[in-house]
Amino acid sequence: MLQAIGLTSTRRREHPPAVDDLTFEARSGRVTVLLGASGAGKTTALRLVLGLEAGRGFTYFRGNPLHRIANPACEVGALLGDVPGHPARTVRGQLRMLSAAVGVPASRADELLDVVGLGGLAQEQLGRLSLGMARRLGLASALLGDPQTLVLDDPVRGLSPRDRSWLFALLRAHAAHGGTVLCTLREPKEAARIADRVVTLHEGRLLADQEAAEFSRTRLRPRVAVRTPHAARLSAVLAREARAERRSVEVVAEGSGVLAVFGTSCAEVGETAFRHGVLVHRLTEEVGDAAPATETGPVGVTAPARSPAPLPPSTASPASAPVPSAASGPPVPPSAPVPSAASEPPAPAPALKRTPAPTSDAPGDSGGAAAVPRGPRPVRGPRWPLRYELRRLLGVRTSPLIALAAVAASLALCLVLARTGATAVKPHTVAAWPGFLPLPPAAFGAGLIGALAFGEEFRYPALASARGTVPRRLGLLLAKLVVTAAAAVVLAVLVVVLDVQALRLVFGPESVAVPPDWSALAAGWGALCVGCAWSGLLAAGVFRVTAAGVAAVLAVPVLVAPLAHKVLVVPAVRSIAGLPGRLREPAWVELPQQADRWLIAAMRLPAQPVGAALVLSLVALICAYVFTGLRRRAFW
């Protein structure tokens, strides 16, 4: 069960709050619809319910606030808008990546593909999905954690009638198994079709809170929809015959050649059109809103139409005067009194799919709750961050293509340098690092892969689609650092191995000799690639764009390295010779003699201009990342 108490959004300048003191509840085993016209505050209400927008009030999910639930994805599944994701990622890859974030096995993704009817499109790319298929994928994403509550914002927007029927059937099935469904709709007909309870909003305030039967009785009435090229003539004929027979018939023009006739039937309208020779293209009976939206107003009204007697104002409605209906038509009186949660008869309790969480009554009333300010809650990171990051990296071809381009460029440069003899067959030749390039292709490729690790998260925020940002969680950051470092090391080793084999193949085995300090060179080469990858990763995480990560990688050799060279290369610089021996004196554990070589190699890395520049850049980026993360958390 979901309880929303006193939800009030933050006022912006002189504008009133989009949601003002809204209180309602959505019970288990039922479908609750927030109904209202565009701008009524439906989406803002859902964002307040989910803690995505600053405001006041309380929201309880089976007696617990959302930020105190250990795994929110297993309690609430939300779909606000379309599902964000890389256009080149496949449907199965998207769901498997999100399953790692939710903390469920990958087999759950395959099960949901069959449930939502996407089993045959598992290998289809997200960018090629139709709107209906994308909405099915969004529902599958919301259902990954097998949540108790589904929160959907206008899920049928733009869908075909067939897809709407399928979606309504899925929501009804979820409610029939004991789940809670809360969604927003614009059309009263659709609300009456699917809902067990309808909560009507107007200008951010509660207008009515009704059972579906009560809503249909007070807000909907049958009508005859007529499509004819002679709409004005048929309207005049219907009005004339109704006046002659003293019947209350209302004819409303709903568009070009479309009439809505209230107070009659298809048979009577069809006989009238036949008698007067009026051509009719369509004639159907349907249930429409009591206040249809019109552009030209009523074109024919006979004897005064009988309007329902004014009902007492709703005890839950903050407004006592009639307000326009959700369809922006004539005023509609408020609904009947809304029974309180304590006096309302309990809904039937079907068997739940899972063990219900401990519930408790929400403390306080709506007045007290509305006075409690709250801000957006921090987004939780993925439950399995390392698995999530691996699936994110390998789910699209971008990173493999970057690695392939770096390897190809390294091979070409290596052979050209060895052929021209510009650097002979030396470490720079094997690394494919000519003097005119600020970085070798492998290091730049590693930096680009690192920049995409956070850049794609902000461009296609799969982790926090509704929040518009990526959670700054230590687990996610460590997973990205580990995966990008592994990718950089693999790329560095692959480039060296292929370059050496190419040199031996073209110029002979004797052209490449293993240098005596190969371990120090290998450590420096790997550290350069890993440092570039981490610089791109952290810069993209701080500035939230891939271009910032690429700029940070290029700034290391172009800007930071010259400054580091001026600072380090001075006559006052002392040698580090003898450092291993001096470190052995205070050491408690006897170090092996082989450790001296590795220690000297490690100390020489930051002494190089590029190494010092990388160290300085990484320290600055880590401090900036921590500062921005803590500053954002201070507002939560």
- Label residue 471 by pLDDT band (50, 70, 90): confident
pLDDT at 255: 77
Using DSSP, state whether 46 is helix, strand or coil. helix
pLDDT tens string 358-405: 444 444 333 333 344 555 565 677 889 999 999 999 999 999 999 999
Residues 6+ apart with CB under 8 A from 182: 2, 26, 32, 33, 34, 46, 49, 149, 150, 151, 152
Give the start-end residues of each E strand in 333-394.
373-374
Q: How far is residue 225 from each of residues 162, 259, 325, 379, measured CA to CA in Å?
A: 21, 6, 20, 48
Q: How far is residue 434 from each of residues 268, 566, 602, measured CA to CA in Å?
A: 89, 22, 24
Mean pLDDT to the nearest integer, 563-567 = 66
- Label residue 75 by pLDDT band (50, 70, 90): very high
Mean pLDDT to the nearest integer, 164-170 = 92
Q: How far is residue 355 from each of residues 59, 146, 147, 179, 359, measured CA to CA in Å?
A: 21, 12, 11, 12, 12
Mean pLDDT to the nearest integer, 602-615 = 64
For the ranges 56-65, 571-580, 615-624, the lowest mean pLDDT is seen at 571-580
Which carries the bigger pLDDT value, residue 418 or residue 311? 418
Q: Dmax over Cα atoms in the chain, in whole Å?
A: 116
Q: pTM value?
A: 0.73
pLDDT at 352: 35
Which carries the bigger pLDDT value, residue 475 or residue 354? 475
Distance CA 452, CA 455 (A): 5
CA atoms within 13 A on the CB side of 525: 25
pLDDT at 286: 78
For the ranges 225-239, 288-302, 314-328, 618-632, the lowest mean pLDDT is seen at 314-328
Mean pLDDT for all residues in the chain: 78
Is pLDDT of 463 > 60?
yes
Q: Which residues pair with 34 in a beta bridge?
A: 184, 199
Task: Judge whether 502 and 584 are in contact, CB under 8 Å.
Answer: no
* DSSP one-letter string for 492-544: HHHHHHHHHHHHHHHH-GGG----TTHHHHHHHHHHHHHHHHHHHHHHHHHHS
Is pLDDT of 345 > 60?
no
Is pLDDT of 114 > 70?
yes
Structure tokens at 595: 């450790």
Mean pLDDT to the nearest integer, 281-291 = 74
Mean pLDDT to the nearest integer, 93-109 = 93
pLDDT tens string 247-259: 888 888 877 889 9
Structure tokens at 7: 């939800």
Which carries the bigger pLDDT value, residue 375 or residue 346? 375
Is pLDDT of 349 > 70?
no
pLDDT at 596: 52
Is pLDDT of 574 > 70?
no
pLDDT at 315: 33
Distance CA 261, CA 268 (A): 11
